[in-house]
Chains A and B, each alone.
Chain A
Amino acid sequence: MAASLRNAGITGLLSALARTGSFCSSTGYRSLHVTAVCCKNRAARIRVGKGDNPLVYEQAIHPHHIGHRKGWLSQNTSNLRGEDGAAQRTVEDMFIRKFMFGTFHGCLANEIVIKRRGNLLVVCALVLQRFSPLRFYFLIGYSESLLSHFYKCPVKLEIQTLQQKAVYKYL
């Protein structure tokens, strides 16, 4: 809630609160506006910590760098001007991410990239080598057939495996 105080002479209070507010001085009065702390952006940002939290490139770069230092995680035409179906594609993407997170539990090294080419749905994932290749092949086939039956379109999974997560920096 915004609260504005008008003080004629109490400078101690003003200097203590000068960081959070802004004040204008005219005609000898000083007014102070103090707003609740809702100024900083917290979306898709991991806060700086002690230095032991490993971050992947995707997590380390903030969302205002999308298009400049970062790419897009879900690539489809629904958000272009003059194209429709944005809500349906978003819901499908959310379901696919949850599904992949659950199927390859603890194995995903990075966020999943979803691409749509015509009717084809391509799900690209980076996976850690925690299980045997046989188990991975089964999970890939299972996800492909289940998702293609669910969405009535051909679904392809493109999996790449890593030994461990590709750490970009530690925060």
Chain B
Amino acid sequence: MYFQGPKPCLSHTKYNVTRCHLPLKASTSYFHTATVFKSTPSLITVTEEPDTLFQKVSILVKCHDRAVLDSYELFATMAANELGITISKVYEPPKAIDRLTLLKSIHIFKKHRVQYEMRTHYRCIELSHLTGCTAQAYLEYVQRNLPEGVAMEVTKVQSTALLTYSK
């Protein structure tokens, strides 16, 4: 369904405007939404208080699949470069393996066991010297695009002014 707006025209105007009103779709269930994330229009507010400064923002992502982490690291570093955020280092902490040993059979056969393992791969992206607004915007963007099966931990180191007690 589409509507035709008024065409750009000269002074003598005789144009046809056809409008189709879309039927208002009453959502019967609250949970069945057409769009995934309802984006409320973000209002840019200018305040007098100074912005928080972060000396370091460290993002640790973990996943079972190393290839997913590779592509996510590429995405996050590209986003940071586009926004002009300094990336101090990107490194890969060693993977962690959790192993379980269970009995293979449901009854007896104690000598026959099955071993399972769960591998967690890590990737750490450290950003340095950014403002609170930048950090908030970057983290929100990067978190909205987290792939499934990937968990993220964010550590922020804030820098504050030195407290002076002498008056």
Which one, B31, B63, B104, contacts A38 given CB within 8 A?
Answer: B104
A75 touches B31 (CB 8 A): no
A154 touches B33 (CB 8 A): yes
B36 touches A80 (CB 8 A): no
B29 touches A149 (CB 8 A): yes
Residues in A34-87 with C-beta less than 8 Å from chain B: 35-36, 38-39, 41, 43, 67, 72, 75-77, 79-83
Residues in B32-65 with C-beta less than 8 Å from chain A: 32-33, 36, 62-65
Which one, B33, B98, B109, contacts A36 given CB within 8 A?
Answer: B109
Tell me the minimal C-beta distance from B65 to chain A in angstroms.
Answer: 7
For B147, what are the chain A residues with a Cβ–Cβ distance below 8 Å?
117
A-B pair count, CB < 8 Å, reads 71
A2 within 8 A of B: yes
Tell me the minimal C-beta distance from B49 to chain A in angstroms.
Answer: 31
B side interface size, CB within 8 A: 27
For B62, what are the chain A residues with a Cβ–Cβ distance below 8 Å?
77, 80-82
- Interface residues of chain A, those whose CB is within 8 Å of chain B, are 2, 35-36, 38-39, 41, 43, 67, 72, 75-77, 79-83, 115-118, 120, 122, 141, 144-145, 148-149, 152-156
Besides A41-B114, A141-B32, A148-B31, 13 other A-B contacts (C-beta < 8 A) = A67-B65, A75-B148, A79-B118, A81-B120, A82-B62, A82-B151, A118-B146, A120-B36, A122-B148, A145-B32, A148-B29, A149-B29, A152-B31
